[in-house]
Structure 1
Amino acid sequence: MRLRSIALMLSSIVIVGTLVGCTGNKSEVNNGSNVNETADVQDKYTPFTIDNYGRELTITQRPTKVLTLGPNTTELFIALGLSQYIIGNSLDNHSRGALPAYEEQYAEIPELTYGPATREAVLTSGADFVYGIDWEFGEEAVDISELEEYGMTTYVNSATTLDQMYQEIRDIGKIFEIEDAAEAFIKDQEARMLQVNEVVADQEPVKVLVYDSGGNGVFTATGTNFETLLIELAGGKNIFDDITDKQWSTVSYEEILARQPDVILIHDYDVPALEQKLLEIHSDPVLSQLDAVKEKRFVTISLESVLPGDRMAYTVETLAKGFYPELFE
């Protein structure tokens, strides 16, 4: 069973104490005056080269002014104790707020853009390092090659597996010389996910439809999406995990009806609102025929929670409780 193989994969972890991140006050985007770097400290930095999904990055000194493009990347920096380096973030429109432990620090971070980052905002930010989710880059977004011309090192967040996300965390740890903190964070995530997996391992996987948005079909996560992995770790099975040529896809209502999900997992973010999505589902002539809809078997989660970042364990815990409420009473 897939769940048993996941349990074996996670079973070699060592449980460690809670990682406590340090805080830092934020000023305005562009100044970076909250980070006190001296030439002496930077002179001791040993340059190195890392691979970022096929792109070689050479890091010659610790960054001092960072843009985090995406709430998942911003919160990961906070979780690792690196919030004092952030001079701006983006995509808060896809956030329902930071986890309680990080709320105060998140609120202090300047907002570069509420929605997707713009070329102008990034280029004029004064940043020397950009850590952003992959959809923030490309022909219609921010061009990585142009950022390099402006002296900005760009690290793309694009994990689809746990190992890839762990590598991102380790790379950030190395870049900012906090390897021990990065490793401790990974171990804590592994331990918490293992605990969940041990509870659900003997259960028949719950068939899950991911509902991001509706309209001309349902926009859903596919088999290569990081969210599908989190669903599996929580004891579920994405009913569209057989789509593997892209991370997101629009599927027909009729195909959903044919696959009969046990649970509908709804993303909660700004537009359309969660209430509107529920109304759309109940009023659709096809979706309303699903037993999951008739019996109101819905699980909701904020979009940022299913993106690759710091919320792996939190999301697996939340989903498992939604999939198997009787096991977590």
Structure 2
Amino acid sequence: MNKRVVAVLLAGVMAVSTLTACGSQKTEETAAPEEPQVENDGQETSDSAYPMTFDNYGREVTITQKPQKVLTLGPNCTELFAALGLGDYVVGRSLINHSRGPLPEYADVVDNIPELNYSSATREAILTSGADFIYALDWEISDEGCNIEEVESYGMNVYVNSATTLEEQYQEILDIGKIFGVEETAEAFVEDQKTRIAAVQEKVKDQEPVKVLVYDSGNDGVFTCSGTNFESLLVGFAGGDNIFKDLNEKQWVTVSYEEVLARNPDVILIHDYDSPSVEEKIQEIKSNPTLSQLDCVKNERFATITLESVLAGDRMAYAVESMASEFYPELFTK
């Protein structure tokens, strides 16, 4: 075999080897982990849509690409992701102890999301989670535990849930929808909330507002919500009047039993979460020398609401409907 033929054959072998190597490289790239497959009603967010910048209660949040691993710190935050069809993105949730469980329509999604922490999320759990985005109740991510600056230094974007008005919460929902490319779903969800709340308001508009004491717990007084608390807003939309709405320094306040007696509520709205139970709280109220003097206690005018239902999130309409049906049972009997 002459040298010319040998050279041609060698060139052919090298060419085949090169093509084979490229084919192997392409196969490895194709086998890379896929992004979460999430139902989004055909909506798409192209890479060109990023970066996105949002005003999150005075903080500027810039999203450079669609998040892939999310922590939802608070049952309201978790359920909102489920409501928007984004449950597959969530790799950890917290404050399960503040929940009586998700609404039935979201139960399958929420129950399949791993627990980051049963109670409040710990600093270590957050920082080692591998998440790239956090949607958190404002009191779940603070200087007392893992603060925003530290989390961001680990490459996690933080969007804080801190709404005190319906419009603020609607904007949070629309922002989450935009970040994850489900804007139409978010817009439809907001419109549904508005329609349902308006229907309740129409039904109770001619009624005298019911004076409401929100009873979270009692010890050296009653731990209740102030006028700046999102729950106070929901009570108002349900036809109630928070008797401590004039207190505005903090969202949660402790008031004396004597002050409750002086303001004389028509109904006591009791928070339902892990412990103590609603039944135990009612017994506390009935056995209290001061609270037992209230007419609403003598007449057993107690209403209940699960704690996650009065946090800003996906349950605004649900909470308003539930409370109104207890404030005005005669209007909402089927």
Scaled by the length of structure 2, what TM-score is found? 0.86
2:179 paired residue among 169, 175, 180: 175
Query: For residues 320 and 297 of structure 2, what CA distance do their matches in structure 1 show?
Result: 23
Counterpart residue number, 2:197: 193
Query: For residues 142 and 87 of structure 2, what CA distance do their matches in structure 1 show?
Result: 26
Identity %: 64
Q: State whether structure 2 residue 319 is matched by structure 1 residue 311.
A: no
Structure 2 alignment gaps of length 5 or more: 1-32, 39-44
Equivalent pair of 1:208/1:262 in contact (CA under 8 Å): yes
Q: Which amino acid aligns with 1:68?
A: T
Query: For residues 103 and 180 of structure 1, what CA distance do their matches in structure 2 show?
Result: 23
Equivalent pair of 2:142/2:148 in contact (CA under 8 Å): yes
Counterpart residue number, 2:26: none
1:148 paired residue among 142, 147, 152: 152
Q: State whether structure 2 residue 91 is matched by structure 1 residue 87.
A: yes
Scaled by the length of structure 1, what TM-score is found? 0.88
Counterpart residue number, 2:27: none
Q: State whether structure 2 residue 69 is matched by structure 1 residue 69.
A: no
Number of residue pairs the alignment of both structures matches = 295
State the secondary structure of the residue aligned to 2:192: helix
Counterpart residue number, 1:22: none
Q: Shift in Å at residue 42 of structure 1?
A: 6.4
Equivalent pair of 1:42/1:61 in contact (CA under 8 Å): no
Q: Shift in Å at residue 33 of structure 1?
A: 6.8
Q: Shift in Å at residue 177 of structure 1?
A: 1.1
Q: Which has the higher contact order (CA 8 A, sep 6+)?
A: 1
Structure 1 residues 61-140: aligned runs within 5 Å: 61-140=65-144
Counterpart residue number, 1:322: 326
Q: State whether structure 2 residue 216 is matched by structure 1 residue 216.
A: no
2:249 paired residue among 237, 245, 248: 245
- Alignment deviations for residues 140-166 of structure 1 (CA, whole Å, 9 cap, x no partner): 122110010000000000000001001
Looking at secondary structure, tell me which structure has more helix per residue. 2
Equivalent pair of 1:34/1:84 in contact (CA under 8 Å): no
Query: For residues 55 and 272 of structure 1, what CA distance do their matches in structure 2 show?
Result: 36
Structure 1 residues 223-234: aligned runs within 5 Å: 223-234=227-238
Equivalent pair of 2:35/2:68 in contact (CA under 8 Å): no
State the secondary structure of the residue aligned to 2:300: coil
Q: Shift in Å at residue 43 of structure 1?
A: 3.7
Query: For residues 301 and 33 of structure 1, what CA distance do their matches in structure 2 show?
Result: 41
- Alignment deviations for residues 107-157 of structure 1 (CA, whole Å, 9 cap, x no partner): 100000000000000000000000010111212122110010000000000
Closer/same/farther in 2, CA of residues 34 and 267 from structure 1, 3 Å limit: farther
1:259 paired residue among 252, 263, 270: 263
- Alignment deviations for residues 42-72 of structure 1 (CA, whole Å, 9 cap, x no partner): 6444212111001001111010000000000
The worse-fitting range, judged by mean Cα deviation, of 268-277 and 69-78 is: 268-277
Q: State whether structure 2 residue 188 is matched by structure 1 residue 184.
A: yes
Q: Which amino acid aligns with 1:141?
A: G
Q: Which amino acid aligns with 2:267?
A: V
RMSD: 1.3
Equivalent pair of 2:37/2:88 in contact (CA under 8 Å): no
State the secondary structure of the residue aligned to 1:126: coil
Query: For residues 115 and 52 of structure 2, what CA distance do their matches in structure 1 show?
Result: 31
Query: For residues 46 and 155 of structure 1, what CA distance do their matches in structure 2 show?
Result: 16
- Alignment deviations for residues 176-232 of structure 1 (CA, whole Å, 9 cap, x no partner): 111111110000000001111100001010000000000000000000000011000
Counterpart residue number, 2:20: none
State the secondary structure of the residue aligned to 1:138: coil
Structure 1 alignment gaps of length 5 or more: 1-31
Query: For residues 201 and 47 of structure 2, what CA distance do their matches in structure 1 show?
Result: 46
Equivalent pair of 1:257/1:290 in contact (CA under 8 Å): yes
Equivalent pair of 1:209/1:240 in contact (CA under 8 Å): yes
